[in-house]
Amino acid sequence: MSAKYVTVQWTKRKIIYDAMVVLGTAVYIALFTMIGHAARPDVSGPILDMRAYGSCAFLMLTIILCLGPLARIDKRFLPLVYNRRHFGVAMFLVAAVHAWKVLSFYHAYSDVPELVSLLTNDASFTKSSWPFQLFGSWALLIVFVMAVTSHDFWQKTLGGTTWKSLHMLVYVAYALAVLHVAYGALQLETHWAYATLVCAAAGTVIGLHLVAGARSNALDRRGVTWATHEGARWIDAGPPGRIPKNRALPVLVPNGERIAIVRDGERVHAVHGVCAHQGGPLYEGKVIDGCLTCPWHGWQYKPGDGCSPPPFTEKIPTYRVCLSGEGHLLVDPMPLAAGTPTEGVLIGKEHGDAA
Amino acid sequence: MTRGQRRAHRIAWLVLGPLVIAALAYALALRADVPPSETPGAEASP
């Protein structure tokens, strides 16, 4: 979140996160090269190098794609989602080094330019051969576009929906990367362990997304629970004590969207569940320094009025809440204008405590 | 995430998942048939 354009808004957490990514990448490549030299003296240095960078990029993309569903399944993974963009850009750089090493080793002596050689040398589908280099090239092109448009400037320029749709192409990039490995390296290296590792990686990514999707779908299918209060229809959000202290929970509203019911100490508010930044799930966020904080990139909103703390100017809609006679939290289904202050409700110990 | 984004994620993986698994299975089946010298890209080595 930013009041003005800055290249990267560094925070201590971002620096630590990025340092871990750089350190992890360097250690992986060093270990791969050392072990590779010792275990496979028949493989030349340049080939070992390109495999080190290629396998590292594949592993990084696998981890990046696992973070989202893991965080939806278990909130303990949420801190890893934060700053995932830098992880993605680092992955692109490692993949680009892999591609550069392949071009300068396999295609440097071709009669045609290196890129032409890469794109034409192995470009046909036959029964026994698929163009694995093309798969890798397309995957790299997608992550390149994602890396250069990863800054908030592009999100604002392209618009949230276009930007998000563009960045969902990472799933296609991963599918292409799996095919690149399966029809390339796995055809050369026939030991069962390599095939097992690739299958496990792809299976984990696909399985986690399907499980997280099914759980999310189950919440949507449950539908809205209605209650009548003082002659009007309100959404019954259940006992307020089920919201852990300084956390948020999702509640479905009639249009199928989710709002966040937020517990800030002993007071509960309801705000729009979608972050104004990149559509992050505010209902999975937590209260830090009195502000509901988006788990994706740390954008913050005050639960009482949906406004970002000064100097920031973002606002999200708020909802009126009250307690029913049975002690259930009720939410008015009609949103208030973005930034409208609400009182929220004060909950006592008699309402239970999930904290 | 909005309702549309959640739906798009689900559809993406319901379509991509089986496609990737099928292509991966085909690649593994090919390994049994193709000698290393005929592996795609192998002839490009200097």
pLDDT tens across A164-223, in order?
A: 888 999 999 999 999 999 999 999 888 999 999 999 999 999 999 999 999 888 888 888
Does the beta-carbon distance from B40 to A105 stay under 8 Å? no
Q: Which of A22-26, A59-63, A105-109, B31-35 has the lowest mean pLDDT?
A: B31-35
Residues 156-215 of A with CB under 8 A from B: 164-165, 168, 171-172, 175, 178-179, 182-184, 186-188, 190, 195, 198-199, 202-203, 206, 209-210, 213
Tokens describing residue A111:
């009669």
- Name the nearest CA neighbour of A302 among A328, A338, A257: A338
Tokens of B33: 């048939």
And the tokens for A224? 């809205």
Locate A109 and state its tokens: 């002596």
Q: What is the mean pLDDT of chain B?
A: 77
Within chain A, residue ranges assigned H as helices are 12-39, 45-73, 78-81, 84-106, 114-121, 132-148, 152-158, 160-167, 170-183, 185-188, 192-222
Under 8 Å between Cβ of A47 and A36: no
Q: Which strands, in side-by-side order, build the sheet including A300-301?
A: A286-288, A291-293, A300-301
Contacts of A179 in chain B (CB under 8 A): 20, 23-24, 27
- What average pLDDT does this structure show over A232-249? 92
Determine, for residues A121 and B31 on separate chains, whether the beta-carbon distance falls below 8 Å: no
Whether A279 has its CB under 8 Å from any CB of chain B: the answer is: yes
Q: Does B34 touch chain A (CB under 8 A)?
A: yes
DSSP A207: H
Q: Give me the residue from B2, B13, B34 closest to A209, CB to CB.
A: B13
Enclosing H/E stretch for A9: none
Nearest by Cα to A284 from A82, A72, A76, A99: A72
Q: What is the ipTM of this complex?
A: 0.77
- A152 in Cβ contact with A172 (< 8 Å): no
pLDDT digits (tens, 9 = 90+) for B11-44: 999 999 999 999 999 999 988 765 555 545 544 4
Percentage of chain A surpassing pLDDT 70? 95
Beta pairing partners, A232: A229
Bridge partners (DSSP) of residue A300 are A293
Under a CB-based contact definition with an 8 Å cutoff, are residues A178 and B24 in contact?
yes
Residue in chain A closest to B45 (alpha carbons) equals A106
* Per-window interface: A 286-325 vs B, CB < 8 A: none
- Candidates A130, A195, A217; nearest CB to B28: A195
| Structure tokens given for A338 | 């973005």
Q: Which positions ≥6 away from A314 have C-beta within 8 Å?
A: A1, A276, A277, A299, A301, A307, A308
Euclidean distance between CA atoms A246 and A262, whole angstroms: 7
Encoding tokens for residue A318?
């708020």
- Averaged pLDDT, A246-274: 93
Measured between alpha carbons, how far is residue B7 from residues A118, A245, A278, B1, B13 in Å? 37, 30, 16, 10, 10
Angle at A145 between CA A139 and CA A150, to 5 degrees: 120
Return the residue matching tokens 């089946």.
B29
A with B: how many residue pairs have Cβ under 8 Å apart?
112
Helix-helix angle A12-39:A84-106, to 10 degrees: 30
State the greatest distance between any 2 C-alpha atoms of chain B, in Å, as a whole number: 52
pTM of the model: 0.82
- Is the Cβ–Cβ distance between A92 and A27 less than 8 Å? no
Is A272 within 8 Å of A318 (Cβ atoms)? Answer: yes
Q: Do A281 and B1 touch (CB under 8 A)?
A: yes
Confidence of residue A66 (pLDDT cuts 50, 70, 90): very high
Nearest residue, CB atoms, B30 vs list A109, A187, A199: A187
Chain B contact for A107 (CB, 8 A cutoff): yes
- Please indicate if any CB of chain B lies within 8 Å of the CB of A278: no
B37 touches chain A (CB under 8 A): no
- The token duo for B11 is 């559809």
Distance (Å, rounded) from C-alpha A211 to C-alpha A213?
5
Give the residue from A178, A205, A88 showing the smallest Cα distance to B20: A178
Residues A32 and A94 sit within 8 Å (Cβ to Cβ):
no
Q: Can you give the pLDDT at residue A79?
A: 82
* Best of B20, B28, B33, B43 to mutate (most A CBs within 10 Å, chain A): B20
**Residue B25 touches partner A, C-beta closer than 8 Å:** no
Which tokens belong to A295?
């788990």
